[in-house]
Amino acid sequence: MKFKLKKLTHFNEIVENAEIEIPTSDLTFANDQIIAQFDRVDEENAETKVIVAPGIYRIGFESNSLKFISTDLRKQKMLDSVMNTQKITEEADRFFKKLHIYDMLEEPKARKILLYSSPGCGKSSSISKYAMDMREADDKSAIVIWPTSQVDSDDVLNLLTDCEYDNVSRLLLVMEDIGGGEREGSYAARGVDSGLLDLLDGVRNVYKVPTFVIATTNYPENLLSALADRPGRFDLMLKLEYPSAAERVALAGFFAKRTLTPAEMEVFMSDKTSEFSVAHIKEAIVRHYLSDKPISETVKELIDHKTKYENSFEDKPDNGRNTGSRGGFGL
């Protein structure tokens, strides 16, 4: 079989791009005068370069290989008035409209934000809305979603370093849930692996096209300051707040597909629902229709559940020193 000779050491001389017929069983041999080492390249079966074209992808394993897997984003019906997409759009537009600044500063064209909130406040919905808007505005855009709990950062770093882009004008890289879940028994910051830091720092040639990075977390307090409080890794942290009283009423009416009664509006205007996420409001309406219960009753059920959940963590261990049992119902 014919192989490409990538490196030949012969009395300290380097010869490249030669071809030679050698046995496939042993690619290293020696005699009294020559020591030759071959890096075998089977040209017929060599892996092709990963090419990324405009589109929407999810990083994942397919046939034991890490790939950009073509995917779709589900278009979610939401009220634009309470969507947090505007915050993302404004920051992304500032970046993409002023790429010349990065040329002037001789910096990689990358802007990275950390989006955080309590669970259910619409991070995924807001990002999906922006991603679809981005694709509609520029069909040469590429969206890449990285589920950080499923794919190691070192693997993603290598994938992004080695890939090439074909006719891609801009890239949106979404890092899903970099903080993971809440740690039980310890409230220390989570460790950060070097692969993620190298990726964010652009140590390798990752940002080959203008790239806007959005990372999400439910627990920013668990992230090390080297990650969460270090401009250049995350340039900006955006918090998505709970819906306001007026937004809660608007969302409830939107999900219910009807105008709320004054009594139902009062329920969502109450301070008792001040920490209701979008998910809480939607569930209150779904329960209302499924169980034929008044909205006031389904809202009370969710408030009671929230209280029980919070009480079950009243005896949180203090850095592992307090190992007392937990009250409430077990999870």
Say if residue 268's pLDDT is above 70. Answer: yes
Domains with residue ranges and CATH for the chain: 2-37 (no CATH), 51-239 (3.40.50.300), 245-311 (no CATH)
Beta carbons of 143 and 174 less than 8 angstroms apart: yes
CA-only gyration radius of the chain, Å:
27
Q: What is the mean pLDDT of residues 273-289?
A: 93
Say if residue 73's pLDDT is above 80. Answer: yes
pTM of the complete model beyond 0.85: no
138: pLDDT confidence band, cut at 50, 70 and 90?
A: very high
**What pairs with residue 3 in β-bridges?**
20
| Vertex 156 angle, CA 155 and 161, to 5° | 100
What's residue 221's pLDDT? 73
Q: Which of 16-30, 50-64, 72-86 has the lowest mean pLDDT?
A: 16-30
What single-letter amino acid sits at 121?
C
What single-letter amino acid sits at 286?
V
239: pLDDT confidence band, cut at 50, 70 and 90?
A: confident
pLDDT in tens, 37-48: 444 444 444 456
**What pairs with residue 144 in β-bridges?**
57, 173
Say if residue 10's pLDDT is above 50. Answer: no
Using CA of residue 295, residue 297, residue 300, residue 301, what is the dihedral sign? negative
What's residue 143's pLDDT? 96
Q: What's the rounded Cα separation, in Å, for the pair 28 and 200? A: 39
